Amino acid sequence: MARLVLKFGGTSVADLARIRTVAEIVTQVWQEGHELAVVLSAMAGETNRLVTLARDAAPLYDVREYDTIVSTGEQVTVGLLAILLQNQGVPARSWLGWQLPLRTNLAHGNASIVEIDRESIEARFASERQVAVVAGFQGLASDSRITTLGRGGSDTSAVALAAALRAERCDIYTDVDGIYTTDPRIVPRARKLDAISHEEMLELASLGAKVLQTRSVSLAMRYGVPLRVVSTFDPQGPGTRVVPEEEI
């Protein structure tokens, strides 16, 4: 038995049919006997829609209200996945950032994670083998308000949660089957990597490879969290491991 964090991005939860696929993957991994926290993004396109709404409301807006608005996409997906898992007989509960809480600094709109309270999740792992379905991209600041972690921030939520829970690994499920030498959607002859070091991945991410948010890679490096990038649409595929240099 292992403790794992699984993260599913926007295209993986784009509609109810895809969230059903996610529920099947989670159920299968849960049936292998693991303790699971699942971090979700909003449905593909939803965060962009919410950002546009905030900007259209007023050209100069209060960024604390921006966070209130743009954090809602993840609230919908975690609730839906929790329902689907429960329906398949898997104990599951959704968690928003403020409920854990996942504490951040006061940098609304682009906050950094300060601390995650892992007690509630661990208690339910122990008592019910409950799956924690956690909203990515959001946290709670010391002004008692919701914060968001910058675009693509669900990756960082997942890695930080994996570090806090001392998880064995953080699996990033996305719409490509691994990490390539360069963006495979732009360069079709890009080569897929079996493994890449945290250091090299940090460089790729800083150069704009949005497959992992740069901050998530820094955190994985600092806390030694092994990552695996794999496709939601081919979950048994080998994907790409992101690990300390000496493990390649």
Q: Which residues bind Mg ion (CB under 5 A)?
A: 9, 152
> Which window, 82-90, 95-103, 114-122, 176-184, contacts ligand ADP (CB under 6 A)?
176-184
Task: Count the Cβ atoms, other than its own, within 10 Å of residue 135.
Answer: 29
Residue 182: name its binding partner from ligand ADP, Mg ion, ligand ASP, none (Cβ under 5 to 8 Å by kind).
ligand ADP
Q: Which does 73 bind (CB under 5 to 8 A by kind): ligand ASP, ligand ADP, Mg ion, none?
A: ligand ASP
Closest approach, Cβ 66 to ligand ASP, in A, equals 13
Compute the least distance from the CB of residue 138 to ligand ASP, in Å. Answer: 9
Q: Are 146 and 139 in contact (CB under 8 A)?
A: yes
Residue with Cβ nearer ligand ADP (164 or 211): 211
Between CA 108 and CA 169 the distance in angstroms is 29
Spell out the residues 6+ positions from residue 16 whose beta carbon is closer than 8 angstroms to its own: 80
- Rounded to whole angstroms, the Cα distance separating 43 from 156 reads 17
- Give which of 139, 57, 69, 151 is closest to 106, Cα–Cα: 139
47 binds, among Mg ion, ligand ASP, ligand ADP, none (CB under 5 to 8 A by kind): ligand ASP
Closest CA to 95 of 116, 67, 114: 116
Site residues (CB under 6 A) for ligand ASP, limited to 147-166? 151-155
Q: How far is CA 247 from the centre of its chain?
A: 24
Size of the site for ligand ADP (CB under 6 A): 19
**Binding residues for ligand ASP, per CB under 6 A?**
9-10, 41-42, 47, 73, 136-137, 151-155
